[in-house]
Amino acid sequence: MSEFVEGFDTMSRVAPAVSIFGSARTNSDDPYYGLAEQLAAELVRRKFAVLTGGGPGIMEAANKGAAEAGGESIGLNIFLPTEQSANAYQTVTLDFRYFFCRKVMFVKYAVAFVCFPGGFGTMDEFFESMTLIQTNKTERFPVILVGREFWSPLIDWVRKHQLDEHAYVSPEDMDLFEITDDIAWAANHIKEQYDKHIADASTAARLAEDLTAEGTYTGRQPRRATTRGTYEDLAR
């Protein structure tokens, strides 16, 4: 509970943020490190804060780009058995013992997700965003995958096996994200979508009415089967 309270209190005072994900194992001489640094600086110039997991690699690059551009550079650090090395470019720092508390902050305070190449954690954040948007549990927000060479094989697999062969996802689900190598386009796209979103007064009113503390919609209570094999509306 204390992690939620501290997180909500601190994050409520920062600018609209963009969550940037990617591998902690990315070296500073890796091209994606430079691209993450560049993107963070571009986002700061468009008045966004940059939100990362606070560690090395892509997270460090994004925090560095934001801090050196004079913006808010937020790190959500995590306690790990092997001890995460927090990067030195955070202007706002929060520490979490629990992944689920930390993930709430990534979703609640971000207006967009950007995923650079990474491992299981990066995949987790990407597919979580897909789940939230696909189920209408949250308003649709930009999700951008940077690195066509890295991401295209995964998306090809999703299209072939989950969409075409088994119909586990719908054709429109393939439009919930963008893949690019163009950093300027990514920053401009996020800004355009954000401006469009806040200009929609009806959206703002709807959000205010039906949001949970984690920033997702309350939704409808699940229907449960009765002994007769039918469903009763428990909300009635």
pLDDT, tens only, 129-170:
999 999 999 989 999 999 999 999 999 999 999 999 999 999
pLDDT of res. 214: 66
What is the distance between the alpha carbons of residues 43 and 184, in angstroms, rounded to a whole number? Answer: 9
**Most distant CA atoms of the chain, gap in Å:** 64
Q: What is the CA radius of gyration of the chain?
A: 19
CATH number of 2-232: 3.40.50.450
**163-177 burial by CB neighbour count: b if 16+ within 10 A, else e?**
beeeeebeeebeebb
Dump pLDDT digits (tens) for 166-209.
999 999 999 999 999 999 999 999 999 999 988 875 665 665 66
Q: In angstroms, what CA-CA distances link 139 with 66, 111, 195, 206?
A: 26, 10, 14, 10
Residues 61-111: pLDDT tens digits?
999 999 999 999 999 999 988 766 889 999 999 999 999 999 999 999 999
Residue ranges per structural domain of the chain: 2-232
**What b/e string do you get for 191-220 counting C-beta neighbours within 10 Å, with b at 16 or more?**
beebeebeeeeeeeeeeeeeeeebbbbeee
Q: Which residues pair with 77 in a beta bridge?
A: 95
> Which has the higher per-residue pLDDT, 212 or 201?
212
